[in-house]
């Protein structure tokens, strides 16, 4: 009797969020990294893409929350300056790069525009 190999890849919620936010699971880091000194300046605030399917809240205390339409859970964690952009580190340690774009921020292929400096 012959048996076939079965690839039973199982994606955890962390892996799916990493794929959605453009990070990779092997980029794991701990959140025990110190937060940067000072304020995040122009980065802090509420950002979203044109069709409001991707939202990103960057707080003044270097924490963030990201939400993608259709996903039940938000990504939460901290962010820090990285070159000419930012590096988001979520609760599971996955990292996502955010680049400064001409008219906003670019994250995982999504162009985000600033909507407000603060949110309720």
Domains delineated in the chain: 27-32+41-116 (2.40.128.290)
At 15 the pLDDT is 54
At 33 the pLDDT is 54
- Which is it for strands 75-82 and 63-68: parallel, antiparallel or unpaired? antiparallel
Residue in 84, 41, 80, 89 with CA at minimum distance from that of residue 62? 80
Q: What pTM, to 2 d.p., does this model score? A: 0.67
Cβ-Cβ contacts under 8 Å for 96 (sequence gap 6 or more): 18, 21, 22, 23, 75, 87, 88, 90, 107, 108
- What tens digit of pLDDT does each residue of 14-55 get? 555 555 665 554 444 444 455 666 667 789 999 999 999 999
- What tens digit of pLDDT does each residue of 64-108 get? 999 999 988 899 999 999 988 999 999 888 899 999 998 899 998
């Amino acid at each position: 009797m012959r048996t076939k190999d079965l690839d039973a890849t199982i994606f955890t919620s962390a892996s799916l969020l990493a794929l959605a936010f453009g990070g990779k699971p092997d980029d794991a880091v701990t959140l025990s990294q110190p937060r940067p000194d000072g304020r995040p300046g122009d980065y802090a605030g509420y950002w979203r893409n044109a069709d409001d399917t991707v939202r990103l809240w960057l707080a003044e205390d270097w924490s963030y929350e990201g939400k993608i339409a259709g996903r039940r859970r938000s990504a939460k964690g901290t962010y820090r300056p990285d070159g000419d952009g930012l590096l988001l580190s979520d609760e599971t340690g996955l990292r996502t790069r955010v680049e400064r774009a001409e008219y906003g921020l670019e994250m995982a292929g999504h162009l985000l525009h600033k909507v407000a400096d603060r949110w309720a």
